[in-house]
Amino acid sequence: MRLTDTSDLWWKTAVVYCADVETFHDTNGDGIGDIEGIGRRLDHLVELGVTCLWLMPFYPTPERDDGYDVVDFYGVDRRLGSLGDVVELVRTAKDRGLRVIADLVVNHTSNQHPWFLEAREDPKSPYHQYYVWREDKPPDTSEMVVFPGEQEAIWTKDRKAGKWYLHHFYRHQPDLNLSNPAVRTEIAKIAGFWLELGFDGFRVDGVPQLLSLGPSNEPKNDDVANPHDVLRDLRSFIGRRRGDAVLLGEVNMPYDQQRTLFGESGAAELDLIFDFVAMQYLYLSLARGDAGALATALKNRPAIRREAQWAVFVRNHDELTLDQLTEAERGEVFAAFGPDPEHQVYGRGLRRRLPPMLGGDQRWLRMVYSLVFSLPGTPTLFYGEEIGMGENLAAPGRHAVRTPMQWSPDPGAGFSTAHPKTFPAPLVEGRFGPEHINVEACRTDPESLFNFLRHLIDVYRRHPELGWGQLEILDQPLPCVLAHRAATGEASIVAVHNFSSDAVSTAVKLPGVQPGHELHDLIAARWRDEPGGRQSSDRPLVVDDEGRVEVQLAARGFRWFGAPQPPGTRGSQAEPPALG
Ligand code: GLC
Ligand code: CA
């Protein structure tokens, strides 16, 4: 496979980076990050190897859900900048070879949105039909709320309208009525607007809620025969407006339901979906020191249409949700990584970042990121992950992980010159705070997580089979080890990860590979070895007569190998289509 094969289905081999404008970099000293601040820091992303920047909501908002409560889909929050600043940012990003996607938050509006204000006042207004109403008292919906503890029902009575309105999320976020063709047209117009300004697509917020899929199944799509038609139409629209634009969906559902949201070839829906399943089982495996749970999840990963892709991640801006695990499994992860009630939220998730959960163990951190980049898919990073930032539990709820980006050891972390009291969230304190963890220090430290990730991204980008390849879990005898292969018709990568805190050696079976073949390490020895320990050899591993290789792994070690391609993959789904 050549780079030229992969350039227009760019999301198959991308590296996505999510930034929150408000907490990234403040350029005018008001204590709030701004659009211009993102622009000034683009070269940091380029240096890391990011290829696509995902901007969290920057629209005008009363800020009751960190900008996910929008009052104008065609505008920019004045605190963050102007439309002009957004255009300059997108333009500068292009100059640096970066694509930019925006959050498309169209499941709901803020209750301060002019549409909703008019809708409540006047049942005859066309905007009344933009929302979902019921006249009779709804049944108990407390089981369906997204934020238990903060919300009791998904219907709330509006005093003025004298009716109940639907809101899958907070009560100040009334759901839009997808049954209304005018709303669907409006959504297309919003997408068209940002595409016209140069955006490369969208991260689609709350897809199951948008389509009323899953447990709630509330009446939002009555006049659409199939809710999937909504996504198909949107996908087809953005494809007409801009051929290589993407839809990256937030779909925290089991694999079989995620699969249906990718759509079929010819009737595409989402292009990328976050792999919430593998993410949750990864944490279970980390907690157990046993790769089995993750291996089973990955074996269940469904085949998806050739152009589609999984977005692989370990952290996002929300709670680290563990809702797809059983209660006992979730308990194991809580016990290992978030035992205090203050670490937990909504009874299902953690409000910590990875480095503190792993006790700051650099080797373990590297192993987790090595997994993220070696599983077939498109790795997605949340800002600050690249330097190993922690959380601040003093910030309420999910805000614990939305603290200002740490650029330098200065009192304002290089985020802003204003007094930290004015920042949208408190800085991280202690061991993971800016005095110890910051971009300046990471760039000059050859051993830093930042420099490790640069190396990993470099190897990932040189091997598009990691994005295109078919995933296969390889047989080997140790429960603490995950061995997998990503293969296209032309090349394959074998990656082996040790979940245990002891060094191990294991015989990995490579179906289809002839005895005598050699496997070459792709990750430099200084990264895969114990820090300060003995340097392992770069001698290639040789496949034995049984078709196996003996792989030695340091404690929580990992290795990636370029391997000959197994027969039978040529001509498979894993190949890019003709003309890339
Ligand atoms: C998504 C976002 C989350 C937000 C919610 C409501 O789940 O990731 O941050 O609160 O949608 O818009
Ligand atoms: Ca500012």
Tell whether the model's pLDDT for residue 356 goes beyond 80: yes
Fold of 470-563: Immunoglobulin-like (2.60.40)
Closest by Cα among 221, 232, 303 to 269: 232
**Atom 12 of ligand 1, residue of closest alpha carbon:** 68
pLDDT at residue 277, as a whole number: 98
Is 250 considered catalytic here? Answer: yes
Tell whether the model's pLDDT for residue 516 goes beyond 80: yes
Closest ligand by atom to 415 CA: 2
Residues 403/466, Cβ–Cβ less than 8 Å = no
Q: How many CA atoms lie within 13 A of 356 on its CB side?
A: 23
Give the CATH architecture of domain 114-166.
Answer: Alpha-Beta Complex (3.90)
Q: What is the pLDDT of residues 184-232, one digit of tens each?
A: 999 999 999 999 999 999 999 999 999 988 777 777 777 676 889 999 9
Packing angle of the helix pair 276-288, 255-262 (nearest 10 deg)? 150
Closest by Cα among 495, 491, 455, 569 to 6: 491
Q: What angle do CA 117, 121, 123 make, to 5 degrees?
A: 115
What pTM was estimated for this model as a whole?
0.97
d(CA 66, ligand 1 centre) in Å: 9
Cα-to-chain-centroid distance, residue 109? 23
Fill in the DSSP letter of residue 301. Answer: P
pLDDT at residue 247, as a whole number: 98
Q: What is the pLDDT of residues 51-75, one digit of tens each?
A: 999 999 999 999 999 999 999 999 9
* pLDDT-based confidence at residue 239 (cuts at 50, 70, 90): very high
Q: How many CA atoms lie within 13 A of 83 on its CB side?
A: 9
d(CA 30, ligand 2 centre) in Å: 5
* pLDDT-based confidence at residue 574 (cuts at 50, 70, 90): low
pLDDT at residue 567, as a whole number: 72
The DSSP line for 225-285 is: S-THHHHHHHHHHHHHH-TT-EEEE---S-HHHHHHHHEETTEE--SEEE-HHHHHHHHHH
Q: Which structure tokens are listed for 211?
A: 């389509």
Ligand 1 atom nearest to 108, measured from its CA: 12
- Pocket residues for ligand 1 (CB within 6 Å)? 65, 68, 105, 169, 205-206, 250, 317-318
pLDDT at residue 23, as a whole number: 98
Tell whether the model's pLDDT for residue 265 goes beyond 90: no
Q: Which structure tokens are listed for 181?
A: 């063709």
Marked catalytic residue, from 34, 200, 250, 275:
250
Strand 16-19 to 52-55 pairing: parallel
d(CA 415, ligand 2 centre) in Å: 10
Closest by Cα among 244, 389, 228 to 315: 389
Fill in the DSSP letter of residue 118. Answer: H
Q: Which structure tokens are listed for 368?
A: 């987790």
**If you average pLDDT over residues 432-451, what whole number do you get?**
97
- Residue 77: other Cβ atoms inside 10 A: 22
Least confident among 16-30, 101-115, 375-389, 515-529? 515-529
Closest by Cα among 278, 276, 282 to 499: 282
pLDDT at residue 225, as a whole number: 65
For the chain, the farthest-separated pair of C-alpha atoms sits apart, in whole angstroms, at 79
Collapse the DSSP code of 382 into the 3-class scheme (helix H, G, I; strand E, B; otherwise coil) and give the result: strand
Whole-number mean pLDDT of the chain? 94
d(CA 97, ligand 1 centre) in Å: 29
Tell whether the model's pLDDT for residue 512 goes beyond 70: yes
* pLDDT-based confidence at residue 255 (cuts at 50, 70, 90): very high
Closest ligand by atom to 399 CA: 1
Marked catalytic residue, from 200, 205, 290, 391:
205
Q: Where are the domains of the chain?
A: 5-106+201-459, 114-166, 470-563
**If you average pLDDT over residues 335-343, what whole number do you get?**
98
* pLDDT-based confidence at residue 3 (cuts at 50, 70, 90): low
pLDDT at residue 565, as a whole number: 80
Tell whether the model's pLDDT for residue 573 goes beyond 60: no
Fold of 5-106+201-459: TIM Barrel (3.20.20)
- Choose the residue to mutate in 65, 106, 209, 323 for probing ligand 1, maximizing ligand atoms within 8 Å of C-beta: 65
Ligand 1 atom nearest to 169, measured from its CA: 6
Percent of the chain with pLDDT over 70: 95
pLDDT at residue 570, as a whole number: 55
Amino acid identity, position 560: W
* pLDDT-based confidence at residue 534 (cuts at 50, 70, 90): low
Residue-wise burial string across 42-59, b where 16 or more C-beta atoms lie within 10 A, e elsewhere:
bebbeebbbbbbbbbbbb
* pLDDT-based confidence at residue 436 (cuts at 50, 70, 90): very high
Tell whether the model's pLDDT for residue 259 goes beyond 90: yes
